[in-house]
Structure 1
């Protein structure tokens, strides 16, 4: 997972959607996908989106967000329909990009959002798109990239809240389209994964564990990295399953921060608990930027890093790889470790891949005051269940590698 700056963004980056620029940037998007060795992108039930647009609905597209460049894969649907998409994008993406990259993102329909605070400008932009614009709005409700393509991470409520708010005062119907994006390898990625695993083993001071099956090799690395974090934070290595140890360390990091900064009970979902601590830290830094002593600033920095660690830990369910150790799950777990342990901005592309994108049936929201009959949490849960069901269906239809198939190719 990529570490990002958190604070008050220096500005808001509005969308400047320009059709000719969007078309001109198509070869650049295609080049980026080729560099990621994505050989083909197929669509299922794209007619759901096509019909919604023809009917004049305000459309929000809500895909899962499990790997870098999945947004570029989704934009192939925009190219096919010849209708650009607006995309709500974390402000950190703009802040860390060069001028031309920012300009190109804006002209291709991206606009910034501050996810840690109430971003009025971003909200107004989203409402305007849903209520008045021809083009659909893309919002990734998972928020972060967790590298777990088979298992959806609990969705944040922001996307549903925006859609319901738009429906209350819109002169046209508003619809949400759940979308599932799934990626598979076309060839055995094990040789490339072995090279990445060896880099991690060298960092740990180990000899290359090439005698181990790939799943066991990845788990050995992950367990050692976790043990070092436990020793650093808790003073000693913990007992229990990998899943239990990750959950315990995550909870301990959050409880320590919440004891410092919260006066009431914490929120339920871990991403929301992390978001709340970040929001408080940002507010304190802004209010006391000039008066705070050096030690206090270092404490804020340390606690903000603690929230990043909690996010990293949350991205490892603990049983994702062992449940079904396919090539894809092996590579995804290694991708996370490459970012978290080796500090890579982007993980290695381990081989040729194909992507399939399935569009679900639109959820047409109640209009006007009737929209109050549908709660944000109910709509969020409905979206989550639909996207997960589509991911499961894509996997069943694809007939992916079984556990035995995957393990049979793990020795190099």
Structure 2
């Protein structure tokens, strides 16, 4: 659950010292963490010279990577090491509420908090001030949240370019300095036999569902129908849990109906209006904000977290169900990494955590710098800077997606989501 009900939000500021991040890099602690916790054991960095040139020119640098795995923020530490710099990064508040050690380590590595359930002016001001000073490069994920769809980009958030433009205006006025954005493409590639891995993981999922495991098979035409069956079983279980019974028919309308049920129930409880232009992600964000605001407005003696936690989890589930794109597993487009990502999303759903047992290599590709204008974005239209950033990231991801190994099959597998998630 991403909404924290244990205590009210308290801003975690950036740590400005260099001792801790230098020690972390020299001792290769991020390498050990990525290998042990995420099974990311190798990396290839491309065009780091572009990033280095911006630093050498005295520009304030904003890195904007795509966000497809929980390893992403730590992986960017390899890029920082390559150009001999430390990074600041904005991170969701809930990440600072796991263990005291992880909260300590996150901050020492340059992370500071953002309250996604509200308007966090402190986090925005901290990000702007970092770019004004140019003390270190700043990393922001313009998609906001993550899911395991490495080859697709979610809609970008306007807050990223608001921060960049505001900082560019103030930095130009302060000392004539510039702010530049470097889009960064991250692509994870499987090391080893993805078919053997997929067969074993599917057998474990089948056992978790109390099924007799399928006969061992490494053929794509056998693995894909099994993946589809497990996906359908998970959806049916959630329909029974939240609606009372499993429905029949194709998965896409069933999935959409369940999302609508989850969101409508929560919006009704908090008397939330839904603008016609809002997609699922906007509605989820509004529900999370209402859960947090309503709960902490209660006197301490009346705070019973269980019903609010259920609403927060329902909103999280709605967003989670939206993260299985149809086009990921269409004939001719299936790769080994797409199979691994889909299975890991189902593992997160059933076990609460993906099994990071498939060794991965990450490619980190830095794009050319984009100059950030000091003027405000035009009123009444999408920020051209945001459009440029979106186009650059999508172009990189298309190219990087072709580097994964094809997963040959003539069997279509149509999973839980629409082809155009909101």
- Bin of the TM-score, shorter chain as denominator length: 0.7 to 0.9
CA distance in 2, matches of 1:116, 1:168: 28
Quote the Cα distance in structure 2 between the aligned partners of 1:311 and 1:281: 16
Count matched residues: 396
Alignment of 1:176-187 (within 5 A): 176-187=181-192
**Equivalent residue for 1:331?**
340
Aligned to 2:281: 271
CA deviation profile, 1:349-383 (whole Å, cap 9, x unmatched)? 22x3221111122221211xx23338665433432
Mean Cα displacement is larger for which, 18-27 or 173-182?
Answer: 18-27
User: What residue in structure 1 maps to residue 355 of structure 2?
Assistant: 347
Give the C-alpha shift of residue 208 in structure 1.
0.3
SS at match of 2:319: helix
Structure 1 distance, partners of 2:297, 2:281, is 24
- Cα displacement (A) at 1:267: 5.1
Name the CA distance, whole Å, in 1 between partners of 2:13 and 2:240.
45
For residues 99-143 of structure 1, the C-alpha deviation after alignment (integer angstroms, 9 at most, x for no partner) is 4x3333222211111111111221121011111123110011222
Matched residue SS, 1:336: helix
* 2:211 paired residue number: 206
Could you tell me which of 308, 311, 314 is aligned with 2:316? 308
Alignment of 1:13-52 (within 5 A): 13-26=12-25, 27-35=28-36, 36-52=38-54
Partners of 2:274 and 2:29 in 1: CA distance: 49
| TM-score in terms of structure 2 length | 0.86
1:358 aligned partner: 365
Structure 2: gaps of 5 or more residues: 412-422
Measured in 2, the distance between the counterparts of 1:207 and 1:275 equals 40
Q: Say which is worse superposed, 17-26 or 332-341, in terms of deviation.
A: 17-26
Q: Where does structure 1 lack aligned partners over 5 or more consecutive residues?
A: 408-412
Q: Give matches, 1:6-405, under 5 Å.
A: 6-7=4-5, 9-26=8-25, 27-35=28-36, 36-99=38-101, 101-171=102-172, 172-210=177-215, 213-260=222-269, 261-263=271-273, 265=275, 268-290=278-300, 292=302, 298-322=306-330, 324-344=333-353, 346-350=354-358, 352-367=359-374, 370-373=375-378, 377-396=383-402, 398=403, 400-404=404-408
**Cα RMSD (Å) of the superposition?**
2.4
Change (3 A) 1:46 1:325: same
Residue 319 of structure 1 and its aligned partner are, at CA, apart by 3.9
The corresponding residue for 1:410 is none
Do the aligned partners of 1:90 and 1:112 also contact (CA within 8 Å) in 2?
A: yes
Distance in 2 (alpha carbons) for counterparts of 1:381 and 1:237: 41
Give per-residue Cα distances to partners, 1:77-112, cap 9 Å, x unaligned.
10011110101111111121224x333322221111
Question: In 2 relative to 1, CA 291–94 (structure 1 residues): closer, same or farther, beyond 3 Å?
Answer: closer
- SS of the equivalent of 1:169 reads helix
Distance 1:192-1:264 versus aligned 2 partners, 3 A rule = closer
Give, in angstroms, the shift of residue 239 of structure 1: 4.2
Distance 2:398 2:200 in 1: 31
